[in-house]
Amino acid sequence: MCESITIRKFEHKDIANKVRWINDPENNRFLHYDLPLEYEKTCIWFEKNKDRTDRYDAVIEADGQAVGLIGLLSIDHKNRKAEYYISMGEPAYKGKGVASAASELLLDYAFVTLGLEKVYLYTETDNIAAQKLFRRLGFKEEGVLKKDLFSKGKFVDRFAYGITRDEYLPLSEMTPIQCLGDLDGNPLFIKREDLLPYSFGGNKARKAQLFFADIDKGNYDCVVTYGTSHSNHCRVIANMAAARKMPCCIIGPAEVSDQTFNSRFMELFGAEIVSVPVEQVHDTIENKLAELKRAGRNPYFIAGGGHGNLGTQAYVNCYEEICRYERENQLHFDYIFFASGTGTTQAGLVCGQLMHGDDRNLVGISIARKNPRGRDVVIDSIHTYLTAKKCEVAEERIQDRTIFVDDYIGDGYGIDNADIEETIKNAMIQYGIPLDSTYTGKAFLGMKRYIREAGLKGKRVLFIHTGGTPLFFDDLGRL
Ligand SMILES: *Cc1c(COP(=O)(O)O)cnc(C)c1O
């Protein structure tokens, strides 16, 4: 199923391949060698350069066979940057994602192993195919260098492209994807957002990382948010605030204020919990923020569930991770299922897809809201995000890509039933994976029913485990 792509240091035995590849007119159109490249001269080049620490020359292997060249030039440790190059040699391996996968390995090496801050490259303006690859990898165009080289009898213009450590690294910290086996004739995979390494993970941890990156950049001195005593969002926010010794105020509806594992964590983190009847939540938030400002404080407000553009961005990033996983493993998910609540997670995934341009089905399983409102809220978030990014997408396409299914809500938000309990119990026994009755257990069951009812066969399916592990323990006594 998955072809393995590796890169390794260029060795003496690779010289013959290099000479053959570079002399192939299909390959050398945009290269700048003195042609034809000679074997003897390449041996001399190899001996002279093999021990240099300011360059890294490597060979790309696909399933053990050498298929191309890749590397870093002018490695500048003081300014922590290097120039990247790639040249695929074997025609049969072009356009198959091998160059992408190898480039990511090289960028991992540059940023993680070498600890560089920036990788850059130059590309002839006519080399459209290469530019596609570079942009897909996350490189950005930084300018045009006019008449930059005299090559093959004429002056050519080149683009300068670059990618920085911060632009690249978030992608390399991916949550795992595992294969769970067969589901009614469809291979089922799961992306473990619950394993994000912070406060039991989950989609709220992914969103909170971006909110707190924003907080850390400003001069805020306290945080205000809202949610119930069951809220994963409030637990994670309270944890991150406590780690910064920042006061955290959580406003919640008195109707759902029973003790849970999440509420016990909020107490442990020293959050101030303000419990009011649901219809007073809005005013209480306004009053609290005004009161803090009057007292000379600078509060940062986070909407319930991490709703908003930063929350959406978190799941654009997650979508990019999924695409990257597919490239590295040479596979494609036909369907992606997940629990949809405030819809921010779904909005981010859909925006990721709209910017990426593929056509798979992203199916949000509603855990509470009915249509049309549930879907409208997702679409609002998508519009808000795309407008902020100045990204124009046809309305028809947004409508077409937003699949919000409200058939599996059961008896309402947070309400359990025997089928959901059975699903949770089985997932724990069969896979060793905790689900919960409010979100992931309900969505997992909804996905199973959807697949059966739609008669899907031979589709590769990905379920996104959006976290909520403390809720699993609330359910455990009832299983
Ligand atoms: C909040 C939450 C969801 C829903 O995410 P939204 O972005 O609000 O749609 C799904 N699963 C878990 C475990 C959650 O905590």
Provide the pLDDT for residue 3: 59
- 247-257 pLDDT, tens digit per residue, is 999 999 999 99
- Specify the DSSP class assigned to residue 111: I
**Ligand 1 center–CA 283 separation, angstroms:** 24
Which ligand 1 atom is at minimum distance from the Cα of 341? 9
**Ligand 1 center–CA 340 separation, angstroms:** 6
Across 40-110, the runs of DSSP E, i.e. the strands, are 56-62, 65-76, 81-88
Cis ω before 25 (30° cut-off from 0): no
Given pLDDT bands bounded at 50, 70 and 90, which one contains residue 1?
Answer: very low
Range in 83-92, 168-177, 217-226, 259-268 the model is least confident about = 168-177
**Ligand 1 center–CA 305 separation, angstroms:** 7
Which ligand 1 atom is at minimum distance from the Cα of 348? 7
Tokens of 403: 């699949």
- 405-450 pLDDT, tens digit per residue, is 999 998 888 888 999 999 999 999 999 999 999 999 999 999 999 9
**Ligand 1 center–CA 409 separation, angstroms:** 14
299 lines ligand 1 (CB under 6 A): no
- Specify the DSSP class assigned to residue 374: H
Interatomic CA distance for residues 130 and 117, integer angstroms = 23
232 lines ligand 1 (CB under 6 A): yes
339 lines ligand 1 (CB under 6 A): yes
- 5-51 pLDDT, tens digit per residue, is 889 999 999 999 999 998 888 888 888 888 888 999 999 999 999 98
* Higher local confidence (pLDDT), 113 or 154: 154
**Ligand 1 center–CA 97 separation, angstroms:** 32
341 lines ligand 1 (CB under 6 A): yes
375 lines ligand 1 (CB under 6 A): no
344 lines ligand 1 (CB under 6 A): yes
**Ligand 1 center–CA 182 separation, angstroms:** 26
Which ligand 1 atom is at minimum distance from the Cα of 344? 7
Tokens of 282: 């809005």
345 lines ligand 1 (CB under 6 A): yes
229 lines ligand 1 (CB under 6 A): no
The answer to whether 84 and 110 have CB atoms below 8 angstroms apart is yes
Q: Residue 390: count other Cβ atoms within 10 Å of its Cβ.
A: 6
**Ligand 1 center–CA 441 separation, angstroms:** 12
Distance in angstroms between the alpha carbons of the first and the last residue of the chain: 37
**Ligand 1 center–CA 317 separation, angstroms:** 16
**Ligand 1 center–CA 344 separation, angstroms:** 8
Has this prediction a pTM greater than 0.75? Answer: no
**Ligand 1 center–CA 339 separation, angstroms:** 6
Across 107-152, the runs of DSSP E, i.e. the strands, are 118-124, 140-151
The answer to whether 5 and 105 have CB atoms below 8 angstroms apart is yes
Which ligand 1 atom is at minimum distance from the Cα of 471? 13
Query: In terms of Cα–Cα distance, which of 290, 312, 316 is closest to 301?
Result: 290
204 lines ligand 1 (CB under 6 A): yes
**SS3 state of residue 247:** coil
Percent of the chain exceeding pLDDT 90 equals 75
Average pLDDT over residues 206-235: 91
Cis ω before 36 (30° cut-off from 0): yes
Best residue among 196, 198, 260, 342 to mutate for probing ligand 1's pocket (most ligand atoms within 8 Å of CB) is 342
* Number of residues assigned to the chain: 479
Best residue among 203, 381, 385, 406 to mutate for probing ligand 1's pocket (most ligand atoms within 8 Å of CB) is 203
**Ligand 1 center–CA 229 separation, angstroms:** 15
202 lines ligand 1 (CB under 6 A): yes
- 377-400 pLDDT, tens digit per residue, is 999 999 999 998 777 899 999 999
Given pLDDT bands bounded at 50, 70 and 90, which one contains residue 217?
Answer: low
Range in 224-233, 317-326, 328-337, 357-366 the model is least confident about = 317-326
Provide the pLDDT for residue 362: 98
Within the chain, how many helices (H) and strands (E) appear? 17, 17
Across 303-345, the runs of DSSP E, i.e. the strands, are 335-340
Strand-pairing partners, residue 69, are 59, 87
**Ligand 1 center–CA 366 separation, angstroms:** 10
Provide the pLDDT for residue 2: 36
Given pLDDT bands bounded at 50, 70 and 90, which one contains residue 170?
Answer: low
**SS3 state of residue 156:** strand
